[in-house]
Amino acid sequence: MDFPRDVTAMRREFHRFPETAFLEYRTAAIVAKRLSELGYTVKAGPEIMHMDGVRGLPSDQAFTAAKEAALQAGADERWLNRMPGGQTAICGELQRGPGPVLALRFDMDALPVHESQSEQHPPNTQGFSSIHPGRMHACGHDGHTAIGLAVAEKLAQPDARWNGTVRLIFQPAEEGGRGAQPIVASGLLDDVDIFLASHLGCQLPSGQIALTADGFLWAEKWNVTFTGRAAHAAMCPEEGRNALLAAALAVAGLYALPRDGQSDTRINVGLLQAGRTRNVIADRAYLELEVRAASSEGLKRLTEGARRTLEGAALTQDVNVEIDLYGNTISAQSDPAIMTRLEKAALATKVGTIVSNWPIGGGDDATFMMQRVQQCGGHAGYCLIGADIAAPHHSSLFDIDENALERAVRLLAAFVEDAA
């Protein structure tokens, strides 16, 4: 497999082969191979991911299928074999004499979204839409991975002006907020002095850079199961315990949880599967939901309300309810030192207007990495790189202004070089 080197071409290649959380085998193998070729010391899999307590891992069958597909798509088997059980993180490290340890984070995973077939959708008109039905890079991580590799190449040039250690971390499973914690648990962040994570888009227009001091949402992700009793829906509906109806009443109640005057909040039930067949009272309903809030207090109020709502709906229909915590993300604050360094880089490279405090309105589990770096005495930051988008993040028509890719590469390289 001959992988392109132009950042846009790379992004399109990644876009064509979307891989969802913990199944980024092809993507990770390409990243590892390229970093290695560029002279980086590459770590992969268990070396940099400790998986204790990771929730929602795909099945062994899914791992095998993903590896097999990656192999057929030309991925290097040696790298695939270094990433057992969904441990698809890759880290490339380069050293140039003494100096600080500087880490950048890039996420690689795609989403279970079905890419639009519209003729207006650029990936279709330009021939790089997803080859995997039901999976799509609908959040821009294809661009992130491409940017990471382009930055890697730039920093590996002999004339790149930096000293110390550069560590480029390619993270799986940002969606669902589960990939960062295993990397933190491996200790990879413990000696980092300067950490920066970034994201394209997020409604920041092309040509702008947001120094984002805070604005992450705290989140919990729950899997919920209602269990009732089946019965013939016509002959004896009164014998049933309707899990589907309990779920429906719960959904109505969950979205109706009060807005919070002290803390922005979010709630979403993104998946609901209930019942088996038309003429049987449904005895099972399964929901996947998330609650988010701008503060941990706000999240506490919201989770309490959500729990009561689920239990109340269960009581109503005399069914059981089981709530499993599937994942969580925390908020974090960017250090002013990082924001200042980034501002310098932006001014030096002229890649965009600087905006302060653009609300992220979402979450990114890079916050676990930021927290760890700060706990160990380093400084951490997060920034948004403006990119016009064709449709909202996670929608089937999502696409980014590819002009932002090159700008991002220049900005991040300059950040490492501490451009003045």
251 binding a copy of itself? (CB under 8 A) = yes
From 316, 354, 376, 388, residue interacting with a copy of itself (rule: CB under 8 A): 316
164 binding a copy of itself? (CB under 8 A) = no
393 is in an annotated binding site: no
54 binding a copy of itself? (CB under 8 A) = no
274 binding a copy of itself? (CB under 8 A) = yes
Among candidate residues 54, 69, 48, the one with its CA nearest the CA of residue 22: 54
Alpha-carbon torsion (331, 337, 338, 340), positive or negative: positive
CB of 196 to a copy of itself, least distance (A): 20
From 68, 214, 318, 324, residue interacting with a copy of itself (rule: CB under 8 A): 318
Binding mask 185-224 for a copy of itself (x = CB under 8 A): -----------------xx-------------x-x-x---
232 is in an annotated binding site: no
The C-alpha atoms of residue 365 and residue 386 are separated, in whole angstroms, by: 20
Q: In what order do the strands lie in the sheet with 353-356?
A: 41-44, 90-96, 164-171, 101-107, 194-200, 379-385, 208-211, 353-356
The C-alpha atoms of residue 137 and residue 394 are separated, in whole angstroms, by: 8
CB of 250 to a copy of itself, least distance (A): 8
62 binding a copy of itself? (CB under 8 A) = no
The one segment of 31-39, 143-151, 230-238, 350-358 that binds a copy of itself by CB under 8 A = 230-238
The one segment of 98-106, 158-166, 276-284, 340-348 that binds a copy of itself by CB under 8 A = 276-284
Q: In what order do the strands lie in the sheet with 218-227?
A: 284-293, 218-227, 320-329
6 binding a copy of itself? (CB under 8 A) = no
259 binding a copy of itself? (CB under 8 A) = yes
The one segment of 57-65, 343-351, 355-363, 400-408 that binds a copy of itself by CB under 8 A = 355-363
CB of 420 to a copy of itself, least distance (A): 32
The C-alpha atoms of residue 405 and residue 10 are separated, in whole angstroms, by: 10
The one segment of 42-50, 76-84, 95-103, 302-310 that binds a copy of itself by CB under 8 A = 302-310
Q: Write out the two tokens for 124.
A: 């279709």
Residue whose pair of structure tokens reads 């959380």 in the numeric block: 21
The C-alpha atoms of residue 106 and residue 23 are separated, in whole angstroms, by: 16
Contact assessment for residue 270 and residue 224, using Cβ atoms and an 8 Å cutoff: no
236 is in an annotated binding site: no
Contact assessment for residue 86 and residue 171, using Cβ atoms and an 8 Å cutoff: no
Binding to a copy of itself (CB under 8 A) within 93-132 occurs at 111-114
144 is in an annotated binding site: no
CB of 352 to a copy of itself, least distance (A): 20
The C-alpha atoms of residue 92 and residue 40 are separated, in whole angstroms, by: 5
Number of residues that bind a copy of itself (CB under 8 A): 93
The one segment of 7-15, 60-68, 123-131, 262-270 that binds a copy of itself by CB under 8 A = 262-270
Q: Where are the alpha helices (DSSP H) in 175-242?
A: 180-185
The C-alpha atoms of residue 370 and residue 184 are separated, in whole angstroms, by: 10
Phi, psi angles (nearest 5°) of residue 215: 105, 0
The C-alpha atoms of residue 270 and residue 155 are separated, in whole angstroms, by: 40
CB of 141 to a copy of itself, least distance (A): 13
The C-alpha atoms of residue 289 and residue 302 are separated, in whole angstroms, by: 13
The one segment of 148-156, 189-197, 344-352, 353-361 that binds a copy of itself by CB under 8 A = 353-361
CB of 416 to a copy of itself, least distance (A): 28
Residue numbers belonging to the annotated binding site: 139, 141, 175, 199, 394
Residue numbers belonging to the annotated binding site for Mn(2+): 139, 141, 175, 199, 394
